Chains A and B, each alone.
Chain A
Amino acid sequence: MLEIKNLHASVEGEDQEILKGVNLSIQKGEIHAIMGPNGSGKSTLSKVVSGHPEYEVTEGEILFNGEDITKLDADERAHLGLFLAFQYPVEVPGITNKTLLRESFNTIARKRGEEELDPLEFEDYLRSRLDIIDMKDEFLERSINTGFSGGEKKKNEVFQMAVLNPKLAFMDETDSGLDIDAMKMVSDGINKIAGPENAIVLITHYQRLLNYITPDFVHVMMNGRIVKSGDKSLALDLEEQGYDWLENKAVLNGESQ
């Protein structure tokens, strides 16, 4: 589904590379977790894959279902079925969740040549998706993320994902800042959305999310590269030993600081 090959990227107009040759392959039906210390490039990877204009791909390619999407705008990638759950969801006072989601849903449907939903049909569909994340109706009528608590914002990202039904979702630290109850609710929602036809990439600092969502693969990112991949036991190793033991590996790989 997603094939990232030797991906190098930097902030537009700056020389400093943030991604220094990332390779990653994701098939449908899989859940991946990407872990790593602060500043290792995890969030950047998710933004580059979703097409944030701040970053420039300097080398390598991103193939989504065989198509090179490196040059596509963020909205075109969303039309293909990519989704990014933001680490810091943006507040848009004045525009309701419902309004945004209807516009998003119908734009994506239109671009894919699928049928758009009229306001009443969409309302029904929207309500049917509320259960996934145990959200109240009133959320639909509230301005996007405006005045939401940190936990509510993260829940809202999962809700948007439930409505838009992406093929591949990058979830950037969706777990950070959540208390235990919210964490369960969010993980529950993600587990309900995950299925054989889609794929999910969890970006996280903490192993605790992986107590609720079982990843098929765990990757460790350091210094702009994936330095180790394994199964879920790798997350436990990291929890016990931290990242220091991998630091040497990064240098051994020939990356100079």
Chain B
Amino acid sequence: MSVAVKEKETIVNYLEGDFSAVSEVKAIAGLNQKGARNMAEFPFPTKKDEDWRFTDLRSISRNHFVPVAEAGAASVGDISQYYLSEAMKSRLVFVNGEFDADLSATEDLPNDVIIWTIAGQGDSDLVKKHLGAYTNYDEDQDVFAALNDAHFKDGAFIYVPKETKVEAPIHILNVFTDAQKTFFATPRLLFVGERFSETTIVEDHIGLADNAYLNVPVAEFKLFESAHVHHARIQRDSKKASHISRPIANLEQHAEYHSYTICLGAKLFRNDPRVIQNAEEVDFTVDALVLIDGDQIADTHSILDHRRAFANSHQLHKVVVNDSAHSIFNGKIFVAKDAQKIDSFQENRNLLLSVGGKVHTKPQLEIFADDVLCSHGATIGQLSDDEVFYLQSRGLTEQKSRELLVYAFTLESIANMKVDSVHKLLLDEVIKYTNRDEKFVAVG
């Protein structure tokens, strides 16, 4: 019996590449196969899907992406300007999603910390056990996570044994080069932190040229009892690129996971962070700072999933929109029926600098426990005339006054950066965004 199936739009329509090719590493091959099936199965999102209502996906659907190997990608060249001084010997470099051993350096890490590529460790029980175990993208039919699953052959794997503190921040530097054709890249990160371990991760995405490409990273973080992770994510992709990411953290008892996402680049940025509280008494942060202008789109659909009692969670999502850029925020906070004593804070503050800019914000709280404290708020505002006038009356030009106020708005988000050189580079990025005079050093 044959069933007539209406041909549907899937992401495969916009891609070239052989998705039947699977890794020789079993743990990866299984995911490759599953991903390929899902890619062909899941419909490509449209504006009729609630989770994609406001997000213009034409920068993908009007393009055609090839695998990096077929793209005629330029060589990477010297990227030392992007190295972090604190992580000179704790750095993994991926060029267009592929590991570059020459540019990487890991001498500063404790011997028992496993930091290398997933493929290199592919046969280990750890990889078998954890890889792909937390993405959980089937239920919302995330076609981009499926693409990552289908295509990745390698990625970063970081395993921190129990009671180990990794002093140096681990810099995961994803760079993307110019290319003759638009390509897709699938960076993959797996982090496992054992009991009482402590790690700082800086996940960086940098476009080296201004070409269009599709970057679909997936990151999985598993934190066992009392593991602590500080996770800074800096998205500085090319302004013509699309970056669609799914970072997931899965937390056991007393774990602490603090993530700070900075969105500066990409024509289209879609971020679906998820934190799942798997045991009692955890503490986590899902903060973000979004600075967009031109025709950039930045869309965050987050889920803070409180499944057990006693958690502190914090989400400060700050956005500055200029020109005709568009920010979308949908912050879901779930509190399960018996997850009492949750203290959850969510705030989305938007600063709209132009008439043509757009902001959509939607806090979404689904709380089934009765003894919880969940606060949320969303504001959209402009710079107030009184603030500008105050600074102007002190002799600052109108332009400078506005820049200073935008700068001040962003500082709260940057203040949490633990790694000094990240802190500094973000201040520089903010200055670049606000176009300020270099002479002016703002932080006294």
Measuring CB to CB, which residues of chain A are less than 8 angstroms from any residue of chain B?
50-54, 73-75, 77-79, 83-84, 86, 89-90, 92-105, 107-108, 111, 119, 140-141, 143, 160, 164
Contact = CB atoms under 8 A, between A and B. Distances in A.
A191 B136 CA distance: 70
B171 to A, nearest CB: 27
Contacts of A92: 387, 390-391, 404-405, 408
A51 B395 CA distance: 12
Contacts of B443: 96, 99
B76 interface: no
Contacts of A51: 392-393
A78 B396 CA distance: 9
B412 A95 contact: no
Given A96-B443, A99-B443, A78 B393 contact: yes
Q: SS class of chain A's interface: helix, strand, loop or mixed?
A: helix
B386 interface: yes
Given A92-B408, A95-B407, A73 B392 contact: yes
Given A53-B385, A78-B395, A93-B408, A103 B390 contact: no
Given A51-B393, A75-B398, 14 more contacts: A50-B393, A53-B389, A73-B392, A75-B392, A86-B393, A92-B405, A94-B412, A95-B442, A99-B442, A103-B395, A103-B400, A103-B404, A104-B394, A104-B395
Contacts of A100: 391, 394, 404
A140 B389 contact: no
A140 B444 CA distance: 9
Contacts of B407: 94-95
Q: Which of the listed residues A78, A98, A102 has the most CB atoms from chain B within 10 Å of its own CB?
A: A78
Interface in B427-444: 440-444
A144 B392 CA distance: 14
B408 A96 contact: no
A74 B387 contact: no
Contacts of B390: 86, 89-90, 92
Given A99-B442, A99-B444, A94 B394 contact: no
Contacts of A103: 395-396, 400, 404, 440
A-B pairs, top 4 by smallest CB distance, nearest first, are A94-B408, A96-B444, A94-B411, A74-B392
10 contacts: A50-B393, A74-B393, A75-B397, A78-B393, A78-B394, A94-B411, A95-B404, A96-B444, A99-B443, A103-B400
A73 B398 contact: yes
Interface of B: 384-387, 389-398, 400-401, 404-405, 407-409, 411-412, 440-444
A2 B394 CA distance: 19
A78 to B, nearest CB: 4
Contacts of B400: 103, 107
A107 B401 CA distance: 12
Contacts of A90: 384, 386-387, 390
Residue with the greatest number of chain A CB neighbours at <10 A, chosen from B390, B409, B440 = B390
Contacts of B384: 90
A93 B410 CA distance: 10
Nearest to B415: A94
Contacts of B394: 78, 100-101, 104, 160, 164
A9 to B, nearest CB: 15
Nearest to B397: A75
A88 B303 CA distance: 41
A164 B395 CA distance: 10
Contacts of B401: 75
Nearest to A110: B395
A79 B395 CA distance: 6
A107 B386 contact: no
Given A93-B408, A95-B404, A111 B395 contact: yes
Contacts of A79: 395
A98 B391 CA distance: 13
A51 B393 CA distance: 8
B389 A52 contact: yes
A141 B392 CA distance: 21
A128 B162 CA distance: 55
B387 A95 contact: no
Contacts of B409: 94
Nearest to B405: A92
Contacts of B385: 53-54
Contacts of A141: 444
Contacts of A96: 443-444
A172 to B, nearest CB: 11
A191 B313 CA distance: 52
A79 B444 CA distance: 23
Nearest to B437: A103
A90 B389 CA distance: 9
Contacts of B404: 92, 95, 100, 103
A226 to B, nearest CB: 23
A183 B324 CA distance: 49
A104 B396 contact: yes
Given A83-B393, A84-B393, A93 B412 contact: yes
Contacts of B444: 95-99, 102, 140-141
A205 to B, nearest CB: 21
Given A98-B444, A103-B396, A111-B395, A74 B411 contact: no
B431 to A, nearest CB: 13
A89 B392 CA distance: 13
Contacts of A74: 389, 392-393
Residue of A54, A75, A102 with highest tally of chain B CB at under 10 A: A75
B35 to A, nearest CB: 44
